[in-house]
Each structure stands twice: as C-alpha cells, then as structure tokens.
Structure 1
Amino acid sequence: MRAVICWCNPSYTAQWKNLEEKMLPIPIQAILADNNLQTYINNMDNPWVKQTLKTWKTVIKEHKLEANIIALKWCAYDSEFIPNKLDSSFKDWIAKGITDLCSIMKDGKLLSFEILKRTYLLEKQDFYRYLQLRHYVDIKMKNATKTGTHLIDLFIKSYKSETIDRIVSCLYKGLLDLTLHSTSYIKIKWEKEGGINISEEEWTAIWKYQWMCTSSQKWREFGWKSLIRYFITPSQKSHYDNNPPVCWRNCGNQSANHYHIFWDCSVLRDYWREIHNALQYIFQCEIPLESKTMFFGHVPQEWPKSDKHLVNILLVACKKGITRKWLSSESPTINLWMDITMDIYKMEKITAFVNHKLDKFTLYWEKWVKYVTPHRPDFTFTNQ
C-alpha cells in the first residue's frame, strides 16, 4: 500500500517507480480510482504491482469507497467520463499538468476556469471542455460520503507533493478509520464461512443485544469478542506458522475457521443440541437450531424484553463454555454452561441489589431459576 501513495506523488522519484509506471499503456495512477480500468491488472506480468493493485481494489470494494474516490480519478482516462473518449484534447491536458481531479478541486468543487487557465495555460477553446468536466464532477460528488476521508486525504496530499511523515502509520490509521465505524466486513466474513445470509437489520439487532444482555462490562466485552472474531483459530494461525489449519478437536476438518470452531464442528453438535433443548424448555417455544439464532443471538422481535435479555445471557454463557475448552479436544458440557450462567446470575443479582432493582432482576431470571432448580439441586437460590 505504501507504493500506491508513492505512485501518486509527482515529486517522488525512484527507479522502481519509473519501471512500474511503464508497465501499462495508461498511467498506473489512473487505474487506482477507476474500477473499469482495473481490468488492466490481469494483463500485468509484475506480481508485486499486480498484488498491490488487487489489494487496493479489495479495500475499495470492502469499504464501498467507489463514490468517494472520484477526486482521485484522471479526467483524461476516467471510463465514466464520456467526453474524454470523443475528444483527445483531454489527454493533451496531462502535458500541461492536469492529471488527477483532486489537484484541480477545492471543497468538493472544480476550481474556476480562470484559475485553471492561468495555472495550466489552458486556451479559450478549453472552456467547453471545462464545463463538461465540471458538470460531471458535480454529479459524481453528490454521491460522495465522508467514509474513508482520512485515507483519501493521504492520496490528495501525495498528489499535491505534500510531505507525509510515516506513510505506513498514516495508511494504517486511515484503514483503521474505515473499520472503526462499520462491522460490515465482519458480517461478510461470517457469511462467507457459514454460507449464511445476515441482513443489515439483523446484524444491527445482534450487536444491540450484545451490549444490553448483562450489567457486567466483562460479559458484554466477551460477547463482543466472540462476534468480532477476536479469538485466534487454526485458520488464522496457519497464515504465520505454516501449519495446516486442522481443528484441534480432531473432528477431521482441514479448515478450522471461526464459524467451524464456534458452531459447525461435529464435536460441538451434542453441546449445541442440549443447549437448544434447554432453551426451548425455558421459553416454551420453538427455537430454530441454526447459527443465526443460537450463536449470533438473533431472536424474534416479538419476544418480551425480559426473554430477549435472558436468552442472550444464556447464549453468552454457552459461548463462554466453548472458550473454556479452547485448544481442548473435549466438548463443553451443559453442566459447564449452567455453572457459567450461575456465575453471571450471582453478579447480576448483586448489581440489582445495589441499584434497588431486585424486582426487575427476579422477573428477568424467573424462567432460568424454574428450569435449573430441579437439574442442579446444588445451586442455592434465595429471596426468589
């Protein structure tokens, strides 16, 4: 990615840059912001340049930056700007210094023709071309959002030959800024691994439940970690230790990713089935035995608030049982699940007592107490 920034800086000179710029029939910088021009990538012989361009293309696609990188396009090669296909004079502008749009824009608008004429020595007959370009830019900028602002600013600074200290760190912060405000890329990974489809509404509700299920920051954080794919799986580990991503439960799976480790492993089937039966007994209703409900915690909207609260606590405890057996070939048991849930119960009760909300606490936990009492006589419940 550092190379991409260096490509865009006209003041940056290096032998490798000169070589890479000559590999394509069009400027390599023009490809960066134009998805249609990126077909040139497939015809490249240099694996380093090819991989760099593919990585940048992935960043654009995953974070939906297509509408926001209009300023990085070259007016002479923009595949969506029809006039440049009919009028070769736009390519003559390159020799005069007009390449990327961001260099001739300010605050999302094209600079006036008078300024461009004076700065780049345009002629009077270029005015009509200017009007065509301004109209095109105005339309495109209407669809732009503030997503990826910091990352795009790096490219704009580079095009203007401004000094960028610690380019790699700045790139990292720019990419991090894209992921801090959206978990869509996480959703895509879960969907790909599990072959499932999670709507945006469902995804939003799933995250909302994670931050409302308990009074404990510790348990909320754990729920967040399990969804954000915090825990390292064999599939992840194989990228840096070169070992095959085999499931440690000896189930035979050769690609143990997050979906497999938490849900799809055959060793866990009995565990999930027992939890599923327990939940159906507790809530006295049919609950789908599927990952979207059992792992992600998406329950019907018509459920009472108290039931939504309780079921998400029970599911967090269920996932904690899996991490308690992390790297073990053994499956967690329903008794372990009950023990973990009881720990949460005790802490929730203390919190409710301190906040004078014991009545609400009793209402929320009533179904759990009724279920677990005959199964675990060693549990002690008071003031119920």
Structure 2
Amino acid sequence: MGGLGLPCFQHYYWAANARALVYWQEGDAQELSANSPPWVAIERSGVTDSSLPALLFAAPISPAISGVNNLIVLNSLKIWKQIKLHCKLPETSVHAPVYCNHAFPPSLSDTSFKNWRLKGLNTLKNLYINKKFASFAMLKSYFSLPDTDFFRYLQVRNYVRTNIPNFISLMEENKLCKILLGSPGSKKLITSFVDVFAERINFTTDSLRSAWEGELGLRIGSEVWEEGLGRIRTCSINVYGCALVPDPQIALFGHSPSLRNCSISMQTTVVYGMVIAKKVILRLWKTDKVPQFKMWLSNFTEIIHLEKLRYVVGFSNKFCSIWQPVLDYLSRSKVDPNTRSVS
C-alpha cells in the first residue's frame, strides 16, 4: 500500500528481501546466466546438502541438516519463513526441485535424479501432465526415462503424496510463487510483492461506513465507498481549482455519483483537492483557528514540484492533462509555486 494509505513498512521490508529470493530460482542450474549477480554463486556455495530452490519451496529443516553455512542465506530464510506464515503458504510447493532437495533424501544420494533434471524433469510440477499426477509410463514416454527408474518414481511419488495434500490434481498457482519464478529484472517487482502481502490483511470497513452514514444522514453505496477507499490508497496530494456542487461524499471520500460524467483527469484532481483540504483541517483541529483558502493553496504549492517529477518520465502528457488547469488557476491567482506564497 502506498500513496495516502499509511504504508506497511514490514511489507516493504519483506518485499525488498524477497526481491533477492527471485534470483534463487537459478540456484540449482548447471551454470548461472550472465545476468545473475555474483552474489548468487556465493550464496549457492554456502549450501551443501540442499539447493537454493529447495530452501524456498521444500519443507524447512534445521540449517545444520541442510548444510547452510552462509549467514546471509540464513537471514533470508528467517524472513522467508515470516512471509510464508503471513501468506499462509504450504510447507512444500510443487516448485520444489526433484534433485538436490534436503526434504527428499534420495535426491541427495542418488545421482539418477540429476539425470532427471538434465532431461527436463526439474521440479515436482514437471511430474504433472494435464494438471494430473502422471504415471510412470507417461513420464517414461515424455522424458525418456529408463525402466530401471520405476523405483525412483515410487520414491518421489511417495514424497509428493506425503507433503502435498490432494496431490493427484495440480493446485492453482500461488501469486507469490508466480512472482518468485518471474524475471528478476521485471518492473515494479517490489510493488508486486507488497500488493500480494497487502491482500492478506483482512480489514473490514463496514463499521466505518455505517458510522459515516449515521453522521451524514444518508446512505453510502458500496460502489462509492469502495471507489473512495481505492482512491485514498493510490493518490498523492494535489488540488484542482474548479467549482463543484457541494457534496459530502466528494468531501469525505473523493468520489460521488455526481462525478461520473466528469473526465478522469478532473475526477483525479478533485479527489486530491479534497485530500489536501482535509489535511489543512486536521492541522488546525485542536486550535481555535479557522482554515483559510490561501492555506489550502499554499499546501498545494508545496507538492506541485514533486508531482511534476512523478510524471516527467514518460508521462508528461498526463501531467499536463491533470495539472494544466490548476497551473492556469495559480497563474491567474498570482500564486508562485517557487515561493510557496499566496498573494
């Protein structure tokens, strides 16, 4: 969560660390890709009886048993444990590797599982064909496995059956796992993690809506309420100088059915104007001073430069569509954003 919604710093802390875990998917590769940072090789060398992907997706065990002797890896695993508890992830994922998996001891002593990896049978998910756990005959045909691997198939089948409930059918992909298995260089990676973490917060606002309905003496529709909450979470502070018919729903939530016929740019600037107005009111809430219009404009000019920086990279047209009417108004009102004063 960002913008005007108070950010959860723990989520950003988790996300910053989880970003490094995205590189762990290459931890059991024969050779690291050219794009992998050098520290991936260092962390991989600090794990002897397991692999980095196994530490992520297989059931955790004692670091001494899994052969983890790298302090950074140990700290990453502590944070990963917190994330798993928060997101209620299963102990074992279908993305756990078949080879070099601490939770599947045969994979550490039997090099035939290494041959499985070389043939493309890398993870438990590869054991599923058409979202069903494949028979040995199907895997034999698909991956060219020898008949002598039938006992190894029974071993891995028992491991999956023991650790994954209802293992016969492939479970729906988890959002967090999708991000972890994505490209480490993808844009908005931190934001993607934070959004997933925020989804796990169960906070109902029904009581707040009821309280506002009682205070205002009107019914607030679910659509207006959800739209208002959404705008609060995504907007930054700015203002729009336009005349509107007084509407308590606009003042409180930044959204109302009366705005539906307005342009998106106007709706955006209106909700930001309401936000900065409430900010001015809160600053003087415990004093005997009355908020003045020039205070509203002055607060607005404090952040106009930041807004320009936010839009200047690739979004200059959007900045103009939202802010040009405001800048024109400030010019007519002889408000100088550089001096932050109102004449």
Question: TM-score, structure 1 length as denominator?
Answer: 0.41
Question: TM-score, structure 2 length as denominator?
Answer: 0.45
Structure in which a larger fraction of residues adopt helix? 1
